[in-house]
Amino acid sequence: MTQTAEYKVTGMSCGHCEASVRGEVSKIAGVEAITVDAKSGTLIVGSTAPVADADVVAAVDEAGYEAVRV
Ligand SMILES: [Cu+2]
C-alpha cells in the first residue's frame, strides 16, 4: 500500500451499510485496503496508486451514501 485517503460518509447506520460501501469501493482499480466505520462515518481507502476522489465518491453513491474527502 502506498497511500491512504480518508472520507467522511453520511447516511451509514449499521454493518450492512459498511458492507455495501466496502463492496462498491473494492471494485475500484488499485484499492488494497478499506476501513469503514458506520458509527463515526469514516472511510479510509488504501491503494497502490492514486485513486481519484471522484471514483470513491461515485462508488459510495452507488452504495447509497454520500462521501466527502477529509
Ligand atoms: Cu445499515
pLDDT tens for the chain, 70 residues: list them.
Answer: 689 999 999 999 999 999 999 999 999 999 999 999 999 999 999 999 889 999 999 999 999 999 999 9
Architecture of 3-69 per CATH?
2-Layer Sandwich (3.30)
The Cα–Cα gap between 51 and 69 comes to: 12
Ligand 1 centroid to Cα of residue 2, in Å, is 30
Residue ranges of alpha helices (H) inside 1-70 are 15-25, 53-63
Distance 18 CA to ligand 1 centre (A): 7
What does the longest C-alpha to C-alpha distance in the chain come to?
30
Determine the distance separating the centroid of ligand 1 and the alpha carbon of 64, expressed in angstroms.
Answer: 10
Please provide the distance, in angstroms rounded to a whole number, between the alpha carbons at the two ends of the chain. Answer: 19
Task: Map out the domains of the chain as residue ranges.
Answer: 3-69
Q: In this predicted structure, what is the pLDDT of residue 2?
A: 86
Q: What is the distance in A from the centroid of ligand 1 to the CA of 50? A: 28
pLDDT score at 1: 64
CA of 59 to the centre of ligand 1 (A): 16
pLDDT at 45: 98
66: cell is 454520500
Determine the pLDDT at residue 16. Answer: 98
